[in-house]
Structure 1
Amino acid sequence: MKRITTLSFFMLLCWITAFAIPRAEYPRPQFERNAWINLNGEWTYSFDFSGSGLEREWFKSTGFDQKITVPFCPESKLSGVEYKDFINHMWYHRTISIPQDWADKQVLLHFGAVYYKSEIYIDGVFAARHFGGTSSFQVDITPYVKAGQTHNLVVYVESDVRSTHQPSGKQNLQFASYGCNYTRTTGIWQTVWLEAVHPEGLQSVQMIPDIDQQQLIIRPRFYKELGGKLEVTLKDNGKVVSKETVAANALSTVILPVKKMKTWSPENPFLYDVEFRVIDKAGNVVDEVKSYAGMRKVHIEGNKIYLNNQPYYQRLVLDQGFYPDGIWTAPSDEALKKDIQLSMEAGFNGARLHQKVFEERFYYWADKLGYLTWGEASSWGMDCNDIETARNFITEWTEIVERDRNHPSILIWTPTNEEFWPDRVQYPRLMQDLYKLTKVIDPTRPFHGTSGGSHIATDIWTVHNYEQDPAKLKELLYNDGKLMEAPKWEIQLMPKNIGYNGLKYTYQYTFPQYKHDMPYLIDEFGGIKWNPSQQMESAQNTSWGYGEPPHSLEEFYARLEGLVNTVLSLSDHVWGYCYTQLTDVEQEQNGIYYYDRTPKFDMKRIHAIFSKNPESK
C-alpha cells in the first residue's frame, strides 16, 4: 500500500473541508489574503419574536437550541430552517478559534451581508453594531479574543421590512409572495469569515484605470502608518508590466505606467494581476494582498454611453438574483457564474442587477467573463421622506460603492428604482445628496439616481414601459419627435397651520423633463408572461406577469422580436435597453429561463433576437 505523505494528507483534508463548508470559496477575490478562516456551516440560533432576548441576556449565550446552516437565510431551504413568516428578531451563535500564529495580528471578523440591523458580541461583550442589510462590513475583534483560544460569537439581528424605515428590495411585505415581490431574507445571507492582518496592513485600495494616459492610478489606505513602504506590481499573465514603491501612507498615490495596454471589454475581458506588499522599516514584508484590475473607461458624450472611447450599445437583462433554494444567496459559486453564462447564451451583453446588492463573487465572474452590470441597491420599501431612513440609506450606499468600485464590469450606479417624487423636499434632497456623494467616492462612472422614476440628479435618463404591442410601444417611446417623459400628477396637501377645517392646497408637480442632453434608455420593457401550463385555470390564478400572455410559442417569439426591433429602430434616440427578465422568480412567470435555470424556449431563437445591435435591425 502506497504511503500517504504529510503534504498529500493535508491537501486531502483541505479538499474534504472545502466540500463540507457551504460557499467555501474566498469571498473577496479582488482583495485576497492567505490568512483567513471561513465561518460558514452549522451555527445555532433562536428566533426572538417578543424581542426580549437582550433583556434575557442572550448575548452571553454559549449555544442556542436550534441549528441553521450559514450563510443561508432562515427562510431558505438550504438553511435547514425554511421559516417563511416575518422574523423581527433573531440570534445566532457559534464558537470561533483563533490560531496561535495570529498572536501579533489584527483579527478581523467579516460579514458579507446581514439583513438588516446587527449587533456583534464576543463572549458576551458588545463589539459592534451595523445598519444595512446588503453592504459588507468588518469588525476588529482583536481586543476581545486571544490567539490559541476559543470564544463565543453571538450575532443579534433586527428586521422590520414593513416599517418603511429600511430598504427591502423585492422582499414581500405581506405574508406570502405576490406580484413581483418574493420570499423575504432575514439575518446572515453572505459568507462570514475571519482574517488575520498585520497592524500596518493594507486596509483598502481604490484603483482608477486611465486608458487615455495609459496608466493605472492606485490610492491606498492603511490600518496604521508607521513609516513603511508599499510595493505594487502589475502583471500580464505572470510577466511584470509595471512596478512602483511608495511611502505606506494615505497621502501616497501609486501611478503605474501601462505600456501596450490591453483594455477590458465584453469582447475581450482582459484582467491584469495586481500584487500589493507592505514592507516595514526593517525591510520585512508584513502584508501581501492579491488583486486584479481591468483597464477600461466609461463616459458620456451627448446622448450616448461610451466604453473605451467608443459608443457602446447595452443589451441588458433584468436579473433579480433570487434562487429557489437559497433565496438571496446563490447555492454555490458555480451558480453565480452560471447565471452570467445563461444570460450571455441568451444574447445579452450585461444585466441590470435589480433591487439587490449582489455579492462580490458575482462581480468577480462578471469581470472574468466580460459581462456589463449596473450596481443597484434594494431601495423598495423605504420612505424617502423620512430623514432617519435617508441617513441609513446613505450610509449603506456609501459602503456599497466603496466595496465595488474597483470592478470593471460595473458601468452605472443606480441607487433607487421607480421613485416618483414622494415629496417636494426630502426626496429631491436625498437624490442630490446621493449624486454628490457617489461622485466623490467614484467619479469614474455615470450616476443614475432612480431607474424609471422621477429624475432629480442623474447622468442618464431612463423609462419603464411594458406595452406589449410593438407599434404602440414605438408610439409611446417616440412620437412627433418627442421621447416619452415622466408623468405629471397632482398631490393634495393639508396645511398644518389651518388644522382640520377641510381646506386643502393643491400642488401641480411638474416632473423634470428630458432635454435630449443625455443618454436615454428603456431599462425595463417586455416582461412577456409565458407559462406552458398557463391555459390551466390554476396557473392563471397563481402566476404573474405583464400584459395578456401569448397564446402560442410562435406568438411569443413574434411579440418578443417585434418589441426588441422597435427599441433597436430608435437607436438614434434610445441608446440601450433592459429586458424583463432573466428567470422566473416564484410566481412571476416572465423569465427567459425557468426559476430552476432550465430553458423555456429555443435558445438559438432567443439569442438571435437579443444579440442584435442597432445596425442589424
Structure 2
Amino acid sequence: MKSIYTLVVLFIGLNAAMGQSIPLPEHPRPDFERANWQNLNGIWEFEFDSLNVGLSQNWTSGTADFSKEINVPFPWGSKLSGVADEADIAWYKKSITVSENWKGKRTFFTIGASDWETTVWIDGKLLGKHEGGYTPFSFDLTEHLTYGKAQNIVVRVDDARRMFTLYGKQGYGNARGIWQTAYLEARGSTYIDYLHFIPDIDKGQFTIKGELGAASMRSETLELSVAGKTLKTEIKAGQKRFEATFDLANAHLWSIEDPYLYDVTATVADDKVKSYFGMRKISVTNLPGTDIPYVALNNKPLYLQLTLDQSYHPEGFYTFPTDEFMKNEIQLCKDIGLNGLRTHIKIDIPRKLYWADKLGLLVMADLPNSWGEPDADAQKESEYTLREMIKRDFNHPAIFSWITFNETWGLKTEVKNENGDVDRKYLPKTQYWVASMYYLAKSLDQTRLVEDNSICCGAGHTETDINSWHAYLPGYEWEAFMTNLDENTFAGSTADFEDGFTQRNQPMINSECGNVWGYDGSTGDIDWSYDYHRMMNVFRQHPKMAGWLYTEHHDVINEWNGYWRFDRTMKYTGLSEIAKGMEDKDFHSLFYVSTGQDITQTGKAGTMATVPIYISCHTGEELPQSKMTLEYQVTGIDVLGNEVSFPAESKTLDYTPWMQKREAPLSVKMPEMDGLYTVTLILKDMNGRALHHNFMNFKVGGGANPAGVSVLEVSPKDVKNADWSVKSWEVMDGLKMNGTGNGSFEYVFTGDVKKAKSGYLLMELGAKELFAKDRGGVDLIDMDYMLGAIAEPSQNKNSYPMTDETKFPSKVTVSINGLNVKNVSLEDDPADHRGILSWHSQKEDGLLHDAGSYGYMVKVPLTKNQLKALRKDGLLTVKLTVKNGGGLAIYGKDFGRFPFNPSIVLSEK
C-alpha cells in the first residue's frame, strides 16, 4: 500500500503543480501568518536578459512586452517552471490589484526565497534590492498603491555565478530566481517583525522575544492568546524589541511520539499574527547507567536515527510541487522508524519544516556552503544567512541543531608551498572564524545545539556541541572502525579536532554514513539493505555513539543510495521474505538484537553454530516482569530446492530500561543437508508483543543428500553453447553467467543414473539488463559530483540497481533434448537483501561484482521419456532461450538467492 500511496502523491503533485492556477496556494509561513494576504504564485510574464540590457531599456517600468511565461515559484530551468535555463539574468512581471479593504494597513510584497540578487519595482518605482538565496525579504508598497486598480510588479533577478554565494549542491538543479512563494500581505501600521517563543519545560514557562517593524510613538500592549488564556505585556514608547515570560503550568510537551503544538495569536495595536510553538527542551544528558553523553529531548536521552535529506525534487529542484508532497517527505521517514533528518546544505521550505513540527520528526538544519575561498565576501554572506535562517526558523520545535559548515566546503584557501605549488589548506585563521560562527549561532539561539563543521576527510572540529563525523565504509569494515573510534572518544582527546581544540563531553554521533562511497569510486546504485544491516548491527553494539545519519533520504541525479528513488517510488529490501514479520523499520527499533557485523557465515552440516547476541535498548520503557524472551528458529532452502523449517526455541533474558548488554551466544544446530539457512530472531516482551526482528544466515556445506537421491549439477560457466545478440559474460570466475538481449545458453548434464525413476530440473534464473557499467563509458571518479555531474545509476563499476517499482522482465523457453518443455516469465533483474549469496561471495577488496543480484527458483519436472533417455545415454541437454530482449542471468550455488547450481535432481523412488 505504501508504494501505491507514494505514486499517487507524486502523480497528484506533478499534475497539481502544472495544472492549478496557483501552485502551492497554502500560506507559506504557518508559524507567522496574517489573515489578509494574497498568493502571487502562478503565471508571471518572463524574459531572459542575457545581454543585461533590461535596465537601460527601462524594463523596470512594467510596460515592456515579455515573450515568455514562468510558473512561479519554480526556479527557471526546472520542468515545473515551464522555461529552460537560458541566461543568468531574468525579469518577472505580474499585474496586481490591492483591495480597497487594505486601506489603513501597510501592504508588503514578500518573496520566500530568490537566488541571488533580486530587485523589485512597482509601476517603475524602485522598492529595493535583496542579496541572498535562501531567506525571505519584503518591500513596503503602501506609498505606491492605487487601491482597486491594476499595477505592475517587476522583479529582476541576477543569478550570475559568484564564488562567495552559498551555492550548496545546486548542481542537482539550480535554484535560479524565485523559488519560494511570492505574496502580498497587509500588516498593521505598527506591525510585528518577528516573534520567537522560548520554552522552559523545567520551570513551566515560556518566554516570548520579538521586534516591531519600527519603534512605536506610544506604549503598546502585546496580547497573546494561547492555551485558552489571554496574556499581556507592555511595549514602551520608543522601543522596538520586547521580551516577556509567562507561566504555562502542566504544559503538554512536544515530542516525536506526541508532537503537540500550541497555537498562538499575537496582537499589537492593529497588527495580528498567528503562530505556534512547541514546549520541548533540547539538551545533553548521559545514557542512564553510564557516563556517555547523548542528545536529550525533554531531559530524556534520544538515540538519533536520521537520514541526510538533499531536499530535491526532479521536476522542481529546490521547490516541491505541492504541500502534500512535502508532508509525505516527512511521513516517509516516520514510516520506516527514523526520528529525524538533516536538511543538507539547503535552508528548507518553511512548510516542510511545519510538517516536521506537526508529524514529529527532528531536523538538523544546515547553513549552505560556498565553493570559493573563505574571504571577506564569503564570511559576510555566511554570517548574514545564518542570522536570517535562525530568525525565520526559530519557532520550529523540530529543529534541534544548527550546522554552520559541512566537510570544510568553502573553508580552504589556496596557498603556495615551499616548492611553489598551490595547496588548498584549512588555515588556522579560518578555523577561528568557524569557531566564531559557532558562538554567533549560540548567541542567537541558546535553545538548540550548534555544530561547527560536520567533519570528513581529515578536517576536524573547533568549538561544537556535537562531536560528529562522516564515514562511508564497506559493511565488513565497520567493526574495526567503531572499535578504534570508541578508544579515541573521551574528554580531552584531540581525535577529530583541529590543533588548539579538544573534545569536551559532547555527544559523539555519526552525521553521514553508508556503504555507497565506501567502495572504490562508488556512487551507487547499490542495494542499501545488506551492508546497511551489517552497519546497524555494529552501531548498536557501540553505545558510545549516540546516533547515526544515513546518506540518504532519496536518490538524486548522481547519487543513488537513497531509501527511495528520486521520484520517491519504492525500493524493496525483501526482508519479510527472509525473516517472517521483519520490516525495514526493524533496523531502527528502539529494542534491537544485534548478531554483529557478519550477518552471513559459512557452516558445516550437522554441527553446532554460534550466533552472537547483543541487546541494545534505547528506551526507558518498563516491560512486564522486567524480562524479555528471545525466540529463534532455523528456516531456509536446501540444496534440492526445498523449503525447510525447524521447531522454534526460546530463552528468557533479564531487562532493564536503556540496557546495552552482550548476552551469552546462541548455540544452534545446523541442518544435515547443504543449503542456505536463516536463524530468525524475535525479541518479545512477556505478553508476547514483538519488539524486534533480526536474523543471521548460514551457508551450510558438507552434508549428504537423502538416500536414493542424486544430483547432476553444472557450474553456470559450464556452458556448452552461448549465443547472445548483445553480450554475454561471467561474473566472479563463473559464479554467475549473464546474457543480454536475445539469445541462449545451453548446458549438458551427465552422470550414471540407471536407477532414477523421477526427477526435475532445478535452476535459479533472472532477467538480465545491460547496465551502463557493462557497456563501458565515463569513469565516474573524474566527474564533479558536488556541482551536479549527471550519470546513469548503473554507471559505476560497483553498481547493481536495487529492486524497485520499475521492472525489467524476460521470458525464457526451457527445452530438454530439443523439446520445448516450459515457458518461464522472469519478473525482473532484482538486487536486494535477498541476494544473500551474491553479497557473501564478494571479496573484501573494495570492489563489488553484481552484489545483491539474484533470480527466481525454476523447477521443471522430467518426463518419462526424458528420464528414459537420461538412463540410456547418461546425459541430458538443456537449452534456455530468450526472444523478447530481456536477457538471462544464471546463478550458481555460491551466488544469488538459492544454494544450488543448475541441477538435475533425481530420485530412485
- Normalised by the length of structure 1, the TM-score is 0.82
**In the alignment, structure 1 residue 419 sits paired with structure 2 residue 421:** no
Deviation of residue 269 (structure 1)? Answer: 0.6
User: In structure 2, the residue corresponding to 1:21 is in which secondary structure?
Assistant: coil
What fraction of aligned residue pairs are identical, expressed as a percent?
A: 32
Deviation of residue 513 (structure 1)? Answer: 6.2
Tell me how far apart the structure 2 counterparts of residues 149 and 545 of structure 1 sit (CA, whole Å).
Answer: 59
Tell me how far apart the structure 2 counterparts of residues 310 and 351 of structure 1 sit (CA, whole Å).
Answer: 19
Distance 1:252 1:113, change over 3 A: closer
Deviation of residue 44 (structure 1)? Answer: 1.1
**In the alignment, structure 1 residue 460 sits paired with structure 2 residue 462:** no
Distance 1:223 1:184, change over 3 A: closer
**In the alignment, structure 1 residue 146 sits paired with structure 2 residue 138:** no
Distance 1:444 1:34, change over 3 A: same
Q: What is the aligned partner in structure 1 of residue 356 from structure 2?
A: 366
- 1:478 pairs with one of 470, 475, 483: 483
Q: Is the 8 A contact 1:242 1:257 kept in 2?
A: no
Tell me how far apart the structure 2 counterparts of residues 322 and 98 of structure 1 sit (CA, whole Å).
Answer: 34
Tell me how far apart the structure 1 counterparts of residues 380 and 370 of structure 2 sit (CA, whole Å).
Answer: 16
Tell me how far apart the structure 1 counterparts of residues 498 and 210 of structure 2 sit (CA, whole Å).
Answer: 45
Tell me how far apart the structure 2 counterparts of residues 545 and 241 of structure 1 sit (CA, whole Å).
Answer: 58
Q: Which runs of 5+ in 1 are unaligned?
A: 1-14, 173-181, 280-285, 489-508, 531-543
Tell me how far apart the structure 1 counterparts of residues 392 and 547 of structure 2 sit (CA, whole Å).
Answer: 27
- 1:321 pairs with one of 311, 314, 320: 311
Tell me how far apart the structure 1 counterparts of residues 24 and 589 of structure 2 sit (CA, whole Å).
Answer: 33
Deviation of residue 432 (structure 1)? Answer: 2.8
**In the alignment, structure 1 residue 41 sits paired with structure 2 residue 31:** no
Give CA deviations for 1:409-466 in whole Å, capped at 9, x if unaligned: 0000012211075242552243133222212221111111111243222111111110
Deviation of residue 527 (structure 1)? Answer: 5.1
Partner amino acid for 2:232? E
User: In structure 1, the residue corresponding to 2:170 is in which secondary structure?
Assistant: coil
Partner amino acid for 2:341? A
* Residues 95-494 of structure 1 aligned to structure 2 (within 5 Å): 95-161=95-161, 163-172=162-171, 182-224=172-214, 225=216, 226-235=218-227, 240-241=228-229, 243-247=231-235, 249-250=239-240, 252-279=242-269, 286-301=270-285, 303-384=293-374, 386-419=375-408, 422=412, 423-453=426-456, 454-470=460-476, 472-479=477-484, 481-483=487-489
Deviation of residue 203 (structure 1)? Answer: 2.0
Tell me how far apart the structure 2 counterparts of residues 123 and 351 of structure 1 sit (CA, whole Å).
Answer: 44
User: In structure 1, the residue corresponding to 2:185 is in which secondary structure?
Assistant: strand
Q: What is the aligned partner in structure 2 of residue 605 from structure 1?
A: 583
Deviation of residue 202 (structure 1)? Answer: 2.0
Tell me how far apart the structure 1 counterparts of residues 176 and 443 of structure 2 sit (CA, whole Å).
Answer: 32
Tell me how far apart the structure 1 counterparts of residues 109 and 401 of structure 2 sit (CA, whole Å).
Answer: 30
Deviation of residue 243 (structure 1)? Answer: 2.8
Distance 1:216 1:477, change over 3 A: same
Q: What is the aligned partner in structure 1 of residue 21 from structure 2?
A: 20
**In the alignment, structure 1 residue 561 sits paired with structure 2 residue 533:** yes
Tell me how far apart the structure 2 counterparts of residues 510 and 287 of structure 1 sit (CA, whole Å).
Answer: 49
Deviation of residue 187 (structure 1)? Answer: 0.3
Partner amino acid for 1:518? Q
User: Mean alpha-carbon deviation: is it higher for 316-325 or for 474-483?
Assistant: 474-483
Q: What is the aligned partner in structure 2 of residue 518 from structure 1?
A: 506
The number of residue pairs the alignment matches comes to: 539
Q: Is the 8 A contact 1:41 1:71 kept in 2?
A: yes
Tell me how far apart the structure 2 counterparts of residues 34 and 251 of structure 1 sit (CA, whole Å).
Answer: 23
Q: Is the 8 A contact 1:109 1:192 kept in 2?
A: yes
Partner amino acid for 1:287? D
User: Mean alpha-carbon deviation: is it higher for 406-415 or for 294-303?
Assistant: 294-303
Q: Is the 8 A contact 2:127 2:141 kept in 1?
A: yes
Deviation of residue 333 (structure 1)? Answer: 0.4
Deviation of residue 251 (structure 1)? Answer: 5.2
Distance 1:304 1:510, change over 3 A: closer
Distance 1:477 1:51, change over 3 A: farther
Deviation of residue 19 (structure 1)? Answer: 4.7
Tell me how far apart the structure 2 counterparts of residues 141 and 383 of structure 1 sit (CA, whole Å).
Answer: 38
Tell me how far apart the structure 1 counterparts of residues 191 and 299 of structure 2 sit (CA, whole Å).
Answer: 36
Deviation of residue 158 (structure 1)? Answer: 1.4
- Normalised by the length of structure 2, the TM-score is 0.56
Partner amino acid for 2:166? P
User: In structure 1, the residue corresponding to 2:382 is in which secondary structure?
Assistant: helix
User: In structure 2, the residue corresponding to 1:199 is in which secondary structure?
Assistant: coil
**In the alignment, structure 1 residue 587 sits paired with structure 2 residue 558:** yes
Partner amino acid for 1:143? E
Tell me how far apart the structure 2 counterparts of residues 156 and 433 of structure 1 sit (CA, whole Å).
Answer: 34
Partner amino acid for 2:463? A
Distance 1:476 1:511, change over 3 A: farther
Tell me how far apart the structure 2 counterparts of residues 110 and 64 of structure 1 sit (CA, whole Å).
Answer: 22
Deviation of residue 483 (structure 1)? Answer: 4.4
Q: Is the 8 A contact 1:545 1:589 kept in 2?
A: no
Q: What is the aligned partner in structure 2 of residue 76 from structure 1?
A: 78
Q: Is the 8 A contact 1:44 1:93 kept in 2?
A: yes
Tell me how far apart the structure 2 counterparts of residues 516 and 570 of structure 1 sit (CA, whole Å).
Answer: 19
Give CA deviations for 1:493-530 in whole Å, capped at 9, x if unaligned: xxxxxxxxxxxxxxxx9656652521111110015489
Partner amino acid for 2:572? F
Tell me how far apart the structure 1 counterparts of residues 322 and 248 of structure 2 sit (CA, whole Å).
Answer: 36
Distance 1:346 1:396, change over 3 A: same
Q: Which runs of 5+ in 2 are unaligned?
A: 1-15, 287-292, 413-425, 575-581, 592-615, 619-659, 661-909
Tell me how far apart the structure 1 counterparts of residues 567 and 188 of structure 2 sit (CA, whole Å).
Answer: 44
Across the aligned residues of Structure 1 and Structure 2, the Cα RMSD in angstroms comes to 2.6
Q: Which one has a larger percent strand, Structure 1 or Structure 2?
A: 2
- 2:549 pairs with one of 551, 566, 578: 578
User: In structure 2, the residue corresponding to 1:399 is in which secondary structure?
Assistant: helix
User: In structure 2, the residue corresponding to 1:518 is in which secondary structure?
Assistant: coil
Deviation of residue 275 (structure 1)? Answer: 1.4
Q: Is the 8 A contact 2:189 2:271 kept in 1?
A: no
Tell me how far apart the structure 2 counterparts of residues 262 and 487 of structure 1 sit (CA, whole Å).
Answer: 41
User: In structure 2, the residue corresponding to 1:417 is in which secondary structure?
Assistant: coil
User: Mean alpha-carbon deviation: is it higher for 454-463 or for 246-255?
Assistant: 246-255
Q: Is the 8 A contact 1:477 1:483 kept in 2?
A: no
Distance 1:170 1:486, change over 3 A: farther
User: In structure 2, the residue corresponding to 1:323 is in which secondary structure?
Assistant: coil
Tell me how far apart the structure 2 counterparts of residues 138 and 527 of structure 1 sit (CA, whole Å).
Answer: 44
Tell me how far apart the structure 2 counterparts of residues 199 and 360 of structure 1 sit (CA, whole Å).
Answer: 26
Partner amino acid for 2:383? I
